[in-house]
Structure formats: C-alpha cells, structure tokens
C-alpha cells in the first residue's frame, strides 16, 4: 500500500457567546487539524492531530516534513510508517506538534488499512471487546472569570441537569480556576443536583501545586468523586506522586504526554492510577497500543482523552472497543475496570456536524461504528464550511 496524496485541513469555528474557560485558558473557538491520505488504489483515510492547541504547527510538520517522507515509503502500513517517521524526528521532536502530526497520519493509515481489508480498526487491533462504550460527559466549565456564588452556582446547576436529561450517568466537571473554597461550592452543587448515584470526576487542568491539589482532592473525596484529573502540571512528576500518595481518590493524567516513552516515565514515577492518552496527541493508534501494553503490565486503567472533532471521537471509540479490562473480571464495571469514553458536551460543530452520521447517546452509551476503518464518513460540505483557506 503506497500513499499517493496527503492533504491537510485547518478547521476553525468561533463559539461567540458560548465561549468558556478552563483553569488555563479562554476558549473563544474550537479548532482541529484533519489529514486525508489517498493511496495509489484510491482508498482514502482520515486522521486528526492535536487537541486544542494551534493547528498550524501540526499542519506544517505534516506538509513540510512528514508527508514527503510518507510518500516515499513503499509499504505505508501504520506499523512500518510509525517507526520510520519517528526515527527521523526523535532527535528534535519527541513531544509536541511533530508527534501530533504523526498521530494524524497514523490514524489515517489505520483508517486506510481497515478500508482496504474490510475491517474496523478495533478488529485489526485484535478484536471488538465491546460494541458500545459507556460515555462520560465533559462539561461544567466556567462561563465567566468573575465568580458570583448566587448567579454561577444556579447556572452550573442548570447546565449539569441538562446533561443528566441527555441520559448521561457520568460527568467530569472543571475545577481549578477559582479559590478552592469557591470550587468546593461548585463541586457540592453538582453532587447535590445530580444525586448520590451519579458518577462524578473533576479536572483541574493542572491548576495546583501538590499541597493545594491535596486540599482540593479532600474536597472531591468528601463529595464522592471517582477520579481527579491533572491535579498538577505534567512536568511535576514528584508532585503527582505526592498527591497520589496522600489521597484515596484515583489520580488521572496524560493528555499532555507523548508516546510510550512519556507514559513509561509517568508510570515509573507512580504518578497516576488512570492513563489518559489522547490518540490525536500521543502518537495515534499504533502508539496507544504500546501505551496500553505498559498500562496493563502495571495493572493501570486507560481512559483515552478525547476533545477533538468527530474523527477524534471515532478513533477513540475504536480504541475503547478494543481496550482490555484492567484487571479482568467476569462482570465488568464501567470506570472500575471497564473503559469509558470521554464525550465533551461543550459546543463543537466539528464534533457534532462533521460526520455524515453523528454519534448518539443511547442510555448513556455510544455505539462503536462497525464499518471498515474508523467506520465514519466526513461530510465535505461541513468541512469546507469550517476550513480556513
Ligand atoms: Ca483534561
């Protein structure tokens, strides 16, 4: 299989009044970098690179460096290509846009391979352990920098009630922008509104140092949250280990980590209970497979991070279909040992409108497309509408 053409697409969509904040940034728009590869047999495959950083550096890495190399490889199978391309960039690009660019190409090559063989990516990875994956909603962001208890707790309550009405039974809310005492009120509001049976997680986007994270973690434990995501900056491995040592709540992280080498160090540092590789960031499907091998070796769960377009969701669904239970039990329990999928609920037309058939929540689950490759089709009219020329 030889690649004849590689095309990149920078997609952007402004959020207008629906802009929001995490602890780190304002989000006035959503963007995605998509890649389409076409083989000499005329088979096309789609991939996505990066999560929310600027798409242009990833595009440049593909257009100027990786695509010319890919076009010269006779057997463009994903496993062959990954090692070849990584060998060419490891000296100067082992994290960041280069790996995000490799992620996009790798996902597209798996899509092509699946379409060539008439099998879904999960099938090619080793099999479909599940045909549907339990989804957790990501939401409960901040819509203002000025926290007003009366106004903003009521708004938060309205938003999370809507998620429950959609049929979700699991939610990840944002923390870390405000003083711990104010975020504690938000945490308790969400618990009170959704009730004791709702499964809750919290994501600080690395807002804290270790001692603040431990204080916040105790708040989350009192409200019976099940994991605490990115408590400290990704570089602070000792901080991660200290937080994990002092808290009972599971510590999650890894969306800002790259390749098996990065996850090797995260695991060796006793940083996390739950690995969250983003397939569009960490090196694609080929590299997630390697990361999951490390995770299972250490009896750690993997719950992929997903925050991109419909292509990112499709790739994560294929991986989640294949992911093993960690550890195995005869009766799997979502989160406890069975993988779940992140389903961002903030506005993103690139997620909801880009594919010919969008993903639908049914009783809190999303079906894994059974068609070949990623099992999805891109609506080219929608893509053109959001494409930056
Ligand atoms: Ca996160």
Phi, then psi, of 190 in degrees rounded to 5: -65, -40
Report CA(229)–ligand 1 centroid distance (Å). Answer: 6
What's the CATH number where 177 sits? Answer: 3.20.20.120
**Domain shared by 47 and 188, yes or no:** no
pLDDT of 251 reads 98
Q: Is residue 374 part of a domain?
A: no
The per-residue pLDDT for 86 is 97
Q: Which two tokens stand for residue 205?
A: 């986007």
- How many whole angstroms from 256 Cα to the centroid of ligand 1? 9
101 lies in the same domain as 131? no
SS3 31: strand
The shares of helix, strand and coil residues in the chain, as percent rounded to the nearest 5, are 40, 20, 40
Claim to verify: residue 43 and residue 184 sit in the same structural domain: no
Extended beta strands in 207-335, E state: 227-229, 250-253, 274-275, 301-302
What's the CATH code of the domain at 69?
3.30.390.10
With respect to residue 325, please indicate whether it lies within any of the assigned structural domains. yes
CA nearest to 102, candidates 112, 115, 87, 122: 87
Q: Are residues 106 and 174 in the same domain?
A: no
Q: Phi and psi for 72 in degrees, rounded to 5? A: -90, -5
Tokens read off for 281: 């960031």
Q: Which residues are in the CB-under-5-Å shell of ion ligand 1?
A: 203
Q: Give the integer Cα–Cα distance in Å for 126 and 318.
A: 11
Question: Is 22 found in the same domain as 72?
Answer: yes
CA of 202 to the centre of ligand 1 (A): 9
**Which residues are 31's β-sheet partners?**
12
Calpha distance 171→262 (Å, rounded) = 27
DSSP 328: -
Same domain for 131 and 114? no
- Rounded to 5 degrees, what angle do the CA atoms 287, 302, 297 make? 75
Buried b (16+ CB within 10 A) or exposed e, 173-186: bbbbbbebeebbbb
373 located within any domain: no
Tell whether 95 and 178 lie within a shared domain: no
* Any domain includes 13: yes
80 and 170 in a single domain? The answer is: no
Residue 372: inside a domain? no
Regarding whether 335 and 255 lie in a shared domain, the answer is yes
Q: How many residues does the chain have?
A: 389
Query: In the structure encoding, which two tokens stand for residue 324, read together?
Result: 């093993």
User: Per the domain annotation, does 132 fall within a domain?
Assistant: yes
* Residue 289 belongs to a domain: yes
pLDDT value for 60: 98
Residue 299 lies in a domain: yes
Residues 134, 156 share a domain: yes
Q: Rounded CA gap, 72 and 79, in Å?
A: 16
How high is the pLDDT of residue 1?
86
pTM for this model (two decimals):
0.97
Per the structure, the complete domain to which residue 29 belongs is given by 3-118+379-386
Q: Are residues 155 and 71 in the same domain?
A: no
Residue 80 has a pLDDT of 95
For the stretch 257-285, what's the b/e string if a residue is b when 16 or more beta carbons lie within 10 angstroms of its beta carbon?
bbbbbbbeebbeebbbbbbbbbbbbbbbb
Where do we find the tokens 């091998």? Answer: 293
- How many domains does the chain divide into? 2
Please list the residues that pair with 338 across neighbouring strands.
334
Same domain, 66 and 33: yes
Task: Compute, in angstroms, the gap from residue 353 CA to the centroid of ligand 1.
Answer: 23
**What pLDDT shows up at residue 226?**
98
CB atoms < 10 A from the CB of 134, how many? Answer: 23
Q: Which residues are known to be catalytic?
A: 305
Report the separation in Å between the CA atom of 75 and the middle of ligand 1, taken as the mean of its atom positions.
Answer: 36
pLDDT tens digits, the chain, 389 residues: what are they?
899 999 999 999 999 999 999 999 999 999 999 999 999 999 999 999 999 999 999 999 999 999 999 999 999 999 999 999 999 999 999 999 999 999 999 999 999 999 999 999 999 999 999 999 999 999 999 999 999 999 999 999 999 999 999 999 999 999 999 999 999 999 999 999 999 999 999 999 999 999 999 999 999 999 999 999 999 999 999 999 999 999 999 999 999 999 999 999 999 999 999 999 999 999 999 999 999 999 999 999 999 999 999 999 999 999 999 999 999 999 999 999 999 999 999 999 999 999 999 899 999 999 999 999 999 999 999 999 999 96
- The per-residue pLDDT for 209 is 98
């Amino acid at each position: 299989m030889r690649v004849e053409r590689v095309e990149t697409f920078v997609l952007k969509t402004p959020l207008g009044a629906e802009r929001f904040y995490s602890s780190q940034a304002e989000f006035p728009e959503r963007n995605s970098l998509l890649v389409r590869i076409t083989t000499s047999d005329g088979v096309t495959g789609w991939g996505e690179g990066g999560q929310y950083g600027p798409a242009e550096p990833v595009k440049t890495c593909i257009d100027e460096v990786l695509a010319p190399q890919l076009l010269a490889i006779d057997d463009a199978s994903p496993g062959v290509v990954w090692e070849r391309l990584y060998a060419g960039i490891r000296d100067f690009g082992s994290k960041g846009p280069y790996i995000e660019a490799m992620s996009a190409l790798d996902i597209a090559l798996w899509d092509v391979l699946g379409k060539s063989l008439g099998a879904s990516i999960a099938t090619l990875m080793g099999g479909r352990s599940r045909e549907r994956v339990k989804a957790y909603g990501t939401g409960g962001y901040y819509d203002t920098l000025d926290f007003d208890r009366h106004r903003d707790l009521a708004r938060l309550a309205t938003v999370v009630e809507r998620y429950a009405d959609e049929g979700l039974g699991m939610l990840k809310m944002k923390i870390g922008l405000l003083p711990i005492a104010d975020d504690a009120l938000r945490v308790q509001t969400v618990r009170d509104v959704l009730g004791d049976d709702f499964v809750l997680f919290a994501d600080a986007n690395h807002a804290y140092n270790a001692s603040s994270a431990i204080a916040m973690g105790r708040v989350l434990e009192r409200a019976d949250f099940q994991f605490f995501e990115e408590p400290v900056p990704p570089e602070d491995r000792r901080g991660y280990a200290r937080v994990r040592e002092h808290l009972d709540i599971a510590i999650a992280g890894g969306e800002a980590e790259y390749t098996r080498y990065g996850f090797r160090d995260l695991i060796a540092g006793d940083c996390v209970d739950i690995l969250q590789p983003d397939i569009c960031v960490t090196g694609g499907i080929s590299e997630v497979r390697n990361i999951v091998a490390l995770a299972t070796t250490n009896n750690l769960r993997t719950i992929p991070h997903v925050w991109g377009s419909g292509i990112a969701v499709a790739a994560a669904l294929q991986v989640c279909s294949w992911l093993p239970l960690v550890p195995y039990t005869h009766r799997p329990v979502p989160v406890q040992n069975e993988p779940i999928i992140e389903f961002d609920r903030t506005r993103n037309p690139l997620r909801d409108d880009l594919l010919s058939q969008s993903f639908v929540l049914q009783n809190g689950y999303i079906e894994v497309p059974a068609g070949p490759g990623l099992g999805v089709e891109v609506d080219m009219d929608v893509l053109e509408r959001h494409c930056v020329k």
